[in-house]
Structure 1
Amino acid sequence: MQYDTLTTKGTKPSSSRKTITYDMKISHFSSVLFLLFCSNVVLHEFVAIVGAMPLYANSRWIVNGEGKRVKLACVNWPSHLETLLAQGLDKKPVTEIAKTIVLNGFNCVRFTWPVALATNDSLASTLVENHFRSLGLNGAIAGLRANNPIFLRLPIIRAFQIIVKILGNNNVMVILDNHLSKPGWCCQQTDGNGFFGDEYFDPELWLRGLTNMATMFKDTKNVVGMSLRNELRGPNANIDIWHKFMHEGAEAVHSANPKVLVILSGLEFDNNLDFLRQQPIEVSFTGKLVFEVHRYASSMGNAWEIGNPNVVCGNFMNNLMGSAGFLLEQGFPLFLSEFGGDQRGINVNDNRFLNCMFGVIADLDLDWALWALQGSYYLRQGIVDMEEVFGVLNKDWSGIRNSSFMQKLHAIQPPFQGPGCQEMSPYNIMFHPSSGLCVQKKSIRHPVELGPCSKSNAWIYSQQARTIMLKGTYSCLQAVGVGQPVKLGVDCTCSTSKWEIISDSRMHLSTKLPDGEIVCLDHSGSNGVIVTNPCKCISGEINCEPASQWFKVITSTRRIVL
């Protein structure tokens, strides 16, 4: 991830238990377990589907051995910094962290590692306690002794392996991500880790590291993919050199472990894969190639804060499709392996970006990995116990940082469509990104309102007729007036039943009232009722906030649960 020098990304758990094997008790986590496969399956079905490994690329989808879609809904858990140990083991027992990952709806972890861990035998064999002591982390050692004492006596590489195993014991898939070569924080343009041939980035050593890591986990069922390199960047970046070494890296990983997905990143901090339009990469194998892309608010500077949110969101979507999304159309899976923002909710740039990003993820039904799990780091950029405000967990790992953010995330964890998801003929869901809820009509007595997307009604939006019909009925969505709740009616020819998707964000649904005023669907507030109000931020205004009126019309074929 690209950050300014001291903006944050990361977190770690905490607890007073003495061993890594114990009966788990979680009192602070109440999130519903969202199962990330087609259908709203119960837990034993979830385990069975995870068990149908390995994974494959089937056109733009990732599928299991039975040909059913497996949507990657991952969280990043870093192990690439100087400590070389997954963050948070000084805060909570590792099994509790693993269960917390599952309870919050994630089905996989993007687990980061540096080349040095897989190639420097002296470093890899160092005991965790000795390594932490050499870094002056006596406080973290005390926390490890309280929560995960066995790790202090393990070689660093063995600790890495055990964490992967514990994730597997909890039915969590793992994607091994080579984040950099020299352990530390990532990433800067000139940090010596950016591109092949840079000061710390020896391509031959990197290839050896990939081979070693692929070999090490070739019989580990829950290791389903390997990402070859995080955020290639810097003044030495070159397309021809990218092709040479990414081809060699892909072949090395596949030769050592043909079961795993081989995941390739682009250039410019993994913001750009556009060069593949003219010069596709060639590999000797099929059914395993996946591409990855990253996006943060900072990808567009401070445009989200100073620009018109609709215009910026539209530009963002166009840029994403032009630089990476085209690969979906070419028949490759595209993995959004990093996105995120300040979960305290105080950063306007991040807030607006995330509302747009959630809409894009839902619309494209992308596989993704959130940055990040950790609420803090043992050591980052010289700062001990640094907080990670992008983290799902709070600083002491005792609970969720922002439950509203998690509600939004839960909405995009299950798949909307794909192989094995054809449980209904295609229909539409009206997704409200800023709340993570969807438009529904529970009964005649209830208003049209927001509710869990898992219980959304099936709608049919016709761009030609400009109607929003309740699937299987003659009823359509109608406006009543400014500030008034919308309703279902049977006169679908009147102007108040005609809806157009407007604005650059493609997330405003507008209609015309009898007096000629143009209004848009709007979320009225805490009661969740859907109303119509004058459309926001349509005319290029800057100091405006359209999020309450952003509704993404997405296509789904999954079963509706009433």
Structure 2
Amino acid sequence: MANHSQVIFLVSISLLSLLASQICCLPLSVSNRWIVDSKTGQHVKLQCANWPSHMSVMLAEGLDKQPIKHIILQLHNLKLNCVRLTWATYMFTRYSNNTVQQTLDSLGLANTKAGITEHNHDVLTMTHPQAYVYVVDQLAAQNIMIISDNHISEPKWCCAPDDGNAFFGDTSFDPKEWLQGLSMAAQLLKDKPNVVVMSLRNELRGPLQNTNSWYGNMTQGAQTVHQGNPNVVVLISGFYNDNDLSFLKDKPLNLTFKDKLAYEVHAYTVSDPSSKEAMSSIFYHPQTGQCMKSRKLGDQVEVNECKRVSGWSLNGTQIKFQSRRKVKCLKANGDGNPVLLTKDCSNTNQTSWKPITESGMHWATVDAQGNQLCMQKDANSSTILTAKCICADSNSSCMDNPQSQWFQFVSSNVK
């Protein structure tokens, strides 16, 4: 793709692993495989944190925990010069007139509202687009560049192949509404020079994927953003959760501009774009970048490298693992004890699990005493056990780190 004056962005779950620079070289353009200063041609290297703003509250996360200036200061401490700030299409097309306060009230998030009132009270009366721009402006004041990322259509956690937001024509992915959202966002951000890149869509996926629809819609999307804001680099994703752009070898995207076009590839530990294997489910632990698998000896499970870890499935409230024609259920064994795999799936109390947070990443069970316990990686080993759930409610005062308890079903073709 470099021969077409285009560039591929390698995106991890939380960081774009490039080097930092000051916000001094705007606007940006593309030259062969490089992002450059449009005026001088000097290479500009980005190091970006991912800041979610696409969930049901439709507000940059963490504003109920700390003042926004404190959050941005941490970006500087990490020597980051860029933020990938996500948004949901409906933020602009359906809920653009709703205030943050109205949304919090409709969701019953009293504790979150109290936290925002304490730390960032100004955003409560803003509409969602206004609150998004407010975050953009606060980042600009601290010399932080922005990749504005259309993450999903309906405000919620991403990404599953059957979540209704996977590909053009899906139940919640109307191409016309998507274009409307892109146009509104581009117009809203056109006078914000620190918005240097606009990503058309995060992680296209699912059974509806096809090249004809991709070429038609991506062409319209790219032209829509470029017309609304010709200064930004337009970032384009491919198939299978941004893991496949191979079809471009045979047919490059035909656009009226070249020096503002880039492609993104999401290179996860669980990714294997060249694999010929069928897609299946794995159970991913984002904190370690590893996957859940059964131990070679015994019935315990652990996190380990993401190879030969397929075979997981969710059947009602039971998490099942199939290996060598044997199906076992994931079983809780009490607070602080390792999770086990059992052939006996009849004990629905010990083998019943459900996601208890909006992200879908806290998997909990209930013990004999009625206590809710979450799956968790042991701090001193690779073992997975159950423990008291960390920050799984809406209490804004919880400052503990819950990442050891985050597990996610991911579709993958890893061998």
Q: Normalization by structure 2: what TM-score?
A: 0.64
- 2:264 and 2:398 mapped to 1: Cα distance? 29
Q: What is residue 27 of structure 2 aligned with on the other side? A: 54
- Letter of the structure 2 residue corresponding to residue 241 of structure 1: S
1:155 paired residue among 102, 118, 127: 127
Q: What is residue 191 of structure 1 aligned with on the other side? A: 163
2:19 paired residue among 27, 31, 36: 36
Q: What is residue 287 of structure 2 aligned with on the other side? A: 343
Kept after mapping to 2: 8 A contact 1:137/1:378: no
The structure in which a higher percent of residues are strand is 2
- Letter of the structure 1 residue corresponding to residue 24 of structure 2: G
Kept after mapping to 2: 8 A contact 1:215/1:256: yes
- 1:132 and 1:124 mapped to 2: Cα distance? 15
Kept after mapping to 2: 8 A contact 1:270/1:292: yes
Q: What is residue 233 of structure 1 aligned with on the other side? A: 205
Q: What is residue 252 of structure 1 aligned with on the other side? A: 224
For residue 258 of structure 1, report the CA deviation from its aligned partner.
Answer: 0.5
Matched, 1:107 2:81: yes
For residue 298 of structure 1, report the CA deviation from its aligned partner.
Answer: 2.9
Kept after mapping to 1: 8 A contact 2:18/2:46: no
Q: What is residue 216 of structure 1 aligned with on the other side? A: 188
Kept after mapping to 1: 8 A contact 2:157/2:358: no
Q: What is residue 543 of structure 1 aligned with on the other side? A: none
Kept after mapping to 1: 8 A contact 2:290/2:305: no
- Letter of the structure 2 residue corresponding to residue 259 of structure 1: N
- 1:200 and 1:256 mapped to 2: Cα distance? 24
Q: 1:60 to 1:346 in 2, by over 3 A?
A: closer
- 2:358 and 2:158 mapped to 1: Cα distance? 13
- Partner-residue secondary structure (3-state), 2:172: coil
The structure in which a higher percent of residues are helix is 1
2:60 paired residue among 75, 81, 86: 86
- Partner-residue secondary structure (3-state), 2:270: helix
Kept after mapping to 2: 8 A contact 1:35/1:105: no
Kept after mapping to 2: 8 A contact 1:127/1:153: yes
Greater Cα radius of gyration, structure 1 or 2: 1
The runs of at least 4 aligned residues of structure 1 exceeding 4 Å deviation read: 344-353, 394-402
- Partner-residue secondary structure (3-state), 1:285: coil
For residue 295 of structure 1, report the CA deviation from its aligned partner.
Answer: 2.5
- Letter of the structure 2 residue corresponding to residue 239 of structure 1: T
Kept after mapping to 2: 8 A contact 1:54/1:259: yes
Matched, 1:200 2:179: no
Kept after mapping to 2: 8 A contact 1:114/1:180: yes
Which of the pair has the greater relative contact order for Cα pairs under 8 Å at 6+ separation? 1
Q: Which moved more, 1:259-268 or 1:277-286?
A: 277-286
Task: Give 5+ residue unaligned stretches, structure 2.
Answer: 1-12, 276-283, 294-302, 307-355, 363-373, 378-389, 392-396, 404-415
* Cα-Cα RMSD: 3.4
Kept after mapping to 1: 8 A contact 2:149/2:200: yes
Q: What is residue 269 of structure 1 aligned with on the other side? A: 241
- 1:260 and 1:75 mapped to 2: Cα distance? 19
Matched, 1:380 2:352: no
- Partner-residue secondary structure (3-state), 1:271: coil
Kept after mapping to 1: 8 A contact 2:149/2:201: yes
Q: 1:35 to 1:79 in 2, by over 3 A?
A: closer
For residue 51 of structure 1, report the CA deviation from its aligned partner.
Answer: 2.3
- 2:41 and 2:24 mapped to 1: Cα distance? 13
Q: What is residue 174 of structure 1 aligned with on the other side? A: 146
- Letter of the structure 2 residue corresponding to residue 191 of structure 1: D
- 2:152 and 2:98 mapped to 1: Cα distance? 20
- Partner-residue secondary structure (3-state), 2:148: strand
- Partner-residue secondary structure (3-state), 1:197: coil
Q: How many residues align?
A: 297
For residue 271 of structure 1, report the CA deviation from its aligned partner.
Answer: 1.1
- 1:145 and 1:163 mapped to 2: Cα distance? 16
Q: What is residue 41 of structure 2 aligned with on the other side? A: 67
Kept after mapping to 2: 8 A contact 1:228/1:264: yes
Offset from partner CA, 1:382-402 (integer Å, 9 cap, x none): 98xxx9x99xxx977969999
Q: 1:165 to 1:399 in 2, by over 3 A?
A: farther
- 2:72 and 2:357 mapped to 1: Cα distance? 18
Kept after mapping to 1: 8 A contact 2:236/2:262: yes
Q: 1:128 to 1:100 in 2, by over 3 A?
A: same
- Letter of the structure 2 residue corresponding to residue 343 of structure 1: Q
Kept after mapping to 1: 8 A contact 2:25/2:44: no
Kept after mapping to 2: 8 A contact 1:344/1:401: no
Kept after mapping to 2: 8 A contact 1:177/1:230: yes
Q: What is residue 119 of structure 1 aligned with on the other side? A: 93
- Letter of the structure 2 residue corresponding to residue 55 of structure 1: L
- Partner-residue secondary structure (3-state), 2:225: helix
